Structure 1
Amino acid sequence: MERIRNVIVLLRGQLWILPLVLSVLALGLAYWVLAFGPSLFEDWDDGEFWWLYGGDASSARGLLSSLLSGLMTMFSLVVSVTFVILTLAANQLGPRLIPTFMGDRQIQTVLGLFLGTILYVLVVLRSLDETLGAEGVPHAAVTIGSVLTILCLFALLFYVHKVARAIVADSIVARVADDLHNNVHDMLPDAGKSDDAVPEDIPSTAGAVSLGGSGYIQVIDYDRLVSVACRENALLQVKVRAGHFVLKGGEHVTVHRAAPLVDDAAQAIRDAFVVGEERSPAQDLEYGLRQLVEIALRALSPGINDPYTAIAVVDRLGAALEEIFQRSLLPITLRDKDGVVRVIAQRSDVQGLADAAFDPVRQAGQEIPAVLIRMADVLGQLASVLRPGEARDAVARHLGRLAETAEEARLAACDRQAVLVRIERARIATAARPKEGNIHVL
C-alpha cells in the first residue's frame, strides 16, 4: 500500500495527466457526436430544438474558426500566467513548493478544459465541407463546441481568481498545512499502547546490505523485509528511513544471524526500498514540516523580510505537532505472525520532529522578537496535549533553547524581557501535568 501511495503522490504532482485525460475524453466526445449526433436530433428543424445551431456549412466553418482562434489565445494566456505564478512561487516561497501548484486539481482541470475544447473544435472543423448541405451539417457538434467555449470563458475568470489567491502566502501555508495534516492522519495510528522494546538477545552480526544506488529513500516496504527475515531466519536492523539521502555504498541494513546472506536474499532486501531523485510524503513525516519551514526561512531572509508569513508558519507547525502528539508514532520493532521480532526500523521520533519544525525558524528569526514571542506562545498552547514522556521533554527542551537564543541575540532590553516573559509563561503551562480524565474539550 505504501508503494501504491507513493505512486499516487508522484502522479498527483504531474501537471499533464489530468489535461491528457480530459483531452482524450474531448476527442471521444467529438467522434461520438459526429457519428451519432444527426440521429439524435432528426427533427431539429421542427422548432423543438430551437437552441441547436441551424446554419449551413460555410457559416459553421467561420464560427468554429473564430472560436478556435479565441481559444488558442486564451490558452496561451493561461499557460503564460501559469509560468509566471510558478516563477513567483519558486522565488518567494521555495522551488520545492512547485509540485504543490502543479498538483492543484483546479488548475489542471482548467488547462484540460481549454486543451480538450481546442482539440474538439479542431476535429469538428475538419469534418465540415463546403459541399455539405443544410442537412449534412453536424448541428449538434457545432452547438456543443459553442457551449464548451462559453465554459472556457467562465473557466478563465475562475482561473484568474485562483492564481490571484495562489500568490498569497497565507493561502500556500494553509494548503501545505492541510497536506501535512492528511499525511499525519494517514500515517500515524491513534494513540495507544504498544510493545516497542528492542530485544536484548540480538544475534551476532552476519554482515550488512547496501542499497546499491544513491538518492532519496521514498518508501520502505517493511512487510517485505519481515518476509525476507522470516525466510532467512534473521533479524534485520534498518539504519535509514524515508526521507534520508543514501549513497551507493554503506551499511544501510544490518543482518543479524549465524551465517551471511546469499546474493538473492540481499537483493530481496534492496527491492524493499524505493529510491528516487526527490523526497516523497508517502512515508516521510518530516516532508510537510520542511515545506512549511522553507516558507518561513524564505520569509525571514533579508531579501523578503516578511515576519508575518513566518508567524503564520509557526502557527501551522504548532497545529501539526498537536496532531502528532495526540497520536502514536510508528513502531520501531516489527514482528512476524509468531511474535518474533524480525525488523528493527529507524523511525522519526518526537524530538526529531520538533527539531525539524522549530529549530530552523528559531535560528533564522533569532533577532525578530515577534517570531520568538509567537514560538513561545505556540509551545505553551501545546500544554493541553502533552503527556509525560518524550513530547513534554521535547517542548521543554525547545523552550530552553528559545530562552538561550533570546539571552544571546541582539535585542533591545525591553524586547528581550517580553520574549523571556512569554517563555516563562509557556514553561509554567507545560510543567503543569493534567490528570488523566480531567481534560474536557468543549
Structure 2
Amino acid sequence: MSKGKGKGKGKGKGYRRPRALSPLREHLRDTFWFAPTAAMVLVFVLWAAASEADAALVRLLQDHQDFDDISELIRIVNDAKGVITTVSSAMMTFIGVVFSISLVAVQMASGHFTPRVVRIFVRSRITKLTFAVFLATFTLTLLVLTSLDSETDPRLVTTVPFVQSVLTLLMVALSLFLFIAYVNSTLRLMRVGHVIDRITGEALRVVDKMPRGDVDGLALGAEIAGVGYHGRAGVLRDVHIARLVRAARRQDVVLRLLPRLGDFVVPGTPLLSVHGRDGAATPSWSALRYTVTVGVERTFHQDLGFGLRQLSDIGLRALSAAVNDPTTAVQCLDRIVQVLTALANRPLGAVGHPDRKGTVRLVQDVPAWADLVDLAFAEMRLCAVGSPQVTRRIMAGLDDLLRLVPPERRPPLIRHRELLVQAVALAVPEAAERAFALEPDRQGIG
C-alpha cells in the first residue's frame, strides 16, 4: 500500500468521522420498544425521588409542628386523587384507541404511497415520545395511587404524595400537549408532499455524511486476503465504519467492502478484501465479526440509493393505472432532481474513509453516477410515456441536470433523454402531441 497516494484522499473538506455508536443508534431508532421502556424506567426513578421528597417534606413540617400545613397538603392530595384515579382508568383505553386509529392511517398511507413509508412512522420521534409519555403517565398514576395513605391525622402520617400528585398532573398536561402534536404529525404522514419531503431529507443527510475526496484504486496495493460473510442471510443494512478503520489501521492495511449497502448477502458471500504489502497481517475475525449488520429491509443510515428507490416507488405507484396520479409523480421527480443535484459533484463508485492521520483505511463501494441516474429515471420513464405532464417534467429535470453536472457525467442523462424521445415518438403518432409531451416544463403542465 502506498501511504502517499492514499493519504488525505478520503478525508477532504467536510468529512465527518462516523460516530462509534451510530449503528446502534440507528437500530434503536428502527425499533418501537426502546423509548417506551426507557420512559417507564425513568418515571419509576422520578417517582422514587418524588416519594423521598414527600417523606422529607412531611418530616420537616412535623419537626416544626406545622400540622395545619400538613392538613392542607392532605386536602390538596385528596382533591387530586379523583383526577389521578380517572387518568389511571382511562389512559390505557385512550392509548389503545389512539394508536389503533393511527395504525389504520399508516396502513392507508402505505397502500397509497409505498409499504416502505411505514418506517417513517416507526422512526418518528414524536410518535415514540407520545407513546412513551402516555405509558409513563399511566405507570406513574398507578405508583401514586399506591402511595396514598388512609391516615388523616397530621401527627401520624408518614408521607403525603404532594410532589407525586403535582408530577402526575404535569405528566397529564404533557400527554395532552403531545397528543395534539401527534395527531398533527399523523395527519401530515398521510400527505404525499410531507412524505416525499421526509424521504428526501433523509436521503440528503446520507449524502452529507459521505467523504468528499476521491479514491485512487491503484493506491490500495495488492489484494493479500479476503473475508467472507458469516451469519444469517439478509440485506446489508450498515457497516461499523469506525471499527473497520481501527482494525485496518492496527494491521497497516486497507479494507475494501465488496457488497454495497442494500445488497442481499448469504453466508459465504465475499465481504471484504484486504490490500497491503506482502506479509502484512490480516485483521482477525474477532475484530471484524461485529462490523456489519444484516436485516430484513434496507435503511437510510448509510444506503445512498435507498432514498431514490423510495421516491421512484411512489412515482411508479402514482403512474399505475389503478392510481393514475401524475401530479404525485411530478412531485417525486422534483425531489429526485434535488437529490441528483446534491450528488452531481460527489465522488461515486467508491469512497474512502480515513483514519486519524488521513490515510484511507476503508474503501466502500457506492452506486456510480450512471447507476443512480438509472434508478431515478429508467422505470418512471417507461411508465410515463402516456402522461405528458410527467414526460415534460422528466425532460426539464434532465435538461437542468445536464447544465449542472460535469461533462463526464452527462452521457447517462443524454441516454435517458434520447430514450424518452424515442418512446414518446413510438407511442404518440401526432407530431403536435409529441412536441407538447417533450417540451421541458418544471411543473409538468402547470
Any conservation in 2 of the 1:210–1:270 contact (CA below 8 Å)?
no
Q: 1:148 aligns with which of 171, 179, 186?
A: 171
Any conservation in 2 of the 1:13–1:100 contact (CA below 8 Å)?
no
Any conservation in 1 of the 2:247–2:283 contact (CA below 8 Å)?
no
Q: 2:37 aligns with which of 3, 6, 20?
A: 20
Aligned residue identity for 2:340: L
What's the offset of the Cα at 1:376? 1.3
| Distance in 2 separating the partners of 1:30 and 1:343 | 48
What's the offset of the Cα at 1:145? 2.0
Q: TM-score if structure 2 supplies the norm length?
A: 0.78
2:5 corresponds in structure 1 to none
1:325 corresponds in structure 2 to 344
What's the offset of the Cα at 1:188? 4.0
| Distance in 2 separating the partners of 1:89 and 1:411 | 37
Does residue 1:314 correspond to 2:337, yes or no?
no
What's the offset of the Cα at 1:422? 2.5
What's the offset of the Cα at 1:383? 4.0
Any conservation in 1 of the 2:225–2:282 contact (CA below 8 Å)?
no
1:175 corresponds in structure 2 to 198
Query: Could you report, residue by residue, the CA deviation over 1:65-88 in whole angstroms, capped at 9, with x for unpaired residues?
Result: 122223233222222122112212
Does residue 1:100 correspond to 2:120, yes or no?
yes
| Distance in 2 separating the partners of 1:338 and 1:236 | 16
Does residue 1:402 correspond to 2:404, yes or no?
no
| Distance in 2 separating the partners of 1:307 and 1:130 | 68
| Distance in 2 separating the partners of 1:29 and 1:147 | 13
What's the offset of the Cα at 1:26? 2.0
Q: TM-score if structure 1 supplies the norm length?
A: 0.79
What's the offset of the Cα at 1:233? 8.7
* Equivalent residue pairs, number: 415
Does residue 1:367 correspond to 2:386, yes or no?
yes
Q: 1:159 aligns with which of 182, 185, 192?
A: 182
Does residue 1:127 correspond to 2:118, yes or no?
no
What's the offset of the Cα at 1:28? 1.9
Q: Give the match's secondary structure for 2:294.
A: strand
| Distance in 2 separating the partners of 1:106 and 1:230 | 40
Aligned residue identity for 2:423: T
Any conservation in 1 of the 2:237–2:298 contact (CA below 8 Å)?
yes
Aligned residue identity for 1:144: L
For structure 2, the residue ranges without an aligned partner over 5 or more in a row are 1-17, 442-446
Query: Could you report, residue by residue, the CA deviation over 1:198-257 in whole angstroms, capped at 9, with x for unpaired residues?
Result: 369x75x77754313422222345676677778889886654222211232344556679
Aligned residue identity for 2:135: L
Any conservation in 2 of the 1:2–1:219 contact (CA below 8 Å)?
no
Any conservation in 2 of the 1:2–1:282 contact (CA below 8 Å)?
no
Equivalent residue runs for 1:338-417 within 5 Å: 345-390=364-409, 392-409=410-427, 413-417=431-435
Any conservation in 2 of the 1:217–1:242 contact (CA below 8 Å)?
yes
| Distance in 2 separating the partners of 1:164 and 1:81 | 11
| Distance in 1 separating the partners of 2:435 and 2:424 | 9
| Distance in 2 separating the partners of 1:393 and 1:413 | 27
Aligned residue identity for 2:174: L
Most deviating of 286-295 and 22-31 = 22-31
1:294 corresponds in structure 2 to 313
Any conservation in 1 of the 2:395–2:439 contact (CA below 8 Å)?
no
Distance 1:413-1:248 versus aligned 2 partners, 3 A rule = farther
Q: Give the match's secondary structure for 1:82.
A: helix
2:50 corresponds in structure 1 to 33
Does residue 1:65 correspond to 2:115, yes or no?
no
Distance 1:39-1:248 versus aligned 2 partners, 3 A rule = closer
Any conservation in 2 of the 1:198–1:333 contact (CA below 8 Å)?
no
Most deviating of 303-312 and 151-160 = 151-160
Higher relative contact order (CA 8 A, sep 6+): 2
| Distance in 1 separating the partners of 2:173 and 2:355 | 60
Distance 1:376-1:30 versus aligned 2 partners, 3 A rule = same
Distance 1:268-1:366 versus aligned 2 partners, 3 A rule = farther
Does residue 1:76 correspond to 2:99, yes or no?
no
Aligned residue identity for 2:267: K
Aligned residue identity for 2:237: Q
Q: Give the match's secondary structure for 1:325.
A: coil
For structure 1, the residue ranges without an aligned partner over 5 or more in a row are 424-442
Aligned residue identity for 1:277: V
Query: Could you report, residue by residue, the CA deviation over 1:120-140 in whole angstroms, capped at 9, with x for unpaired residues?
Result: 111001122333446654233
| Distance in 2 separating the partners of 1:344 and 1:60 | 62
Aligned residue identity for 1:178: G
Any conservation in 1 of the 2:211–2:352 contact (CA below 8 Å)?
no
| Distance in 2 separating the partners of 1:227 and 1:122 | 49
Distance 1:60-1:225 versus aligned 2 partners, 3 A rule = closer
Aligned residue identity for 1:150: A
Any conservation in 1 of the 2:202–2:300 contact (CA below 8 Å)?
no
Q: 1:54 aligns with which of 75, 80, 83?
A: 75
2:21 corresponds in structure 1 to 4
Aligned residue identity for 1:172: V
1:210 corresponds in structure 2 to 228
What's the offset of the Cα at 1:420? 2.5
Distance 1:133-1:368 versus aligned 2 partners, 3 A rule = farther
Q: Give the match's secondary structure for 1:397.
A: helix
What's the offset of the Cα at 1:401? 2.5
Aligned residue identity for 2:424: A
Aligned residue identity for 1:375: I
Query: Could you report, residue by residue, the CA deviation over 1:125-178 in whole angstroms, capped at 9, with x for unpaired residues?
Result: 112233344665423322332332233233323322222222111111111111
Distance 1:370-1:133 versus aligned 2 partners, 3 A rule = farther
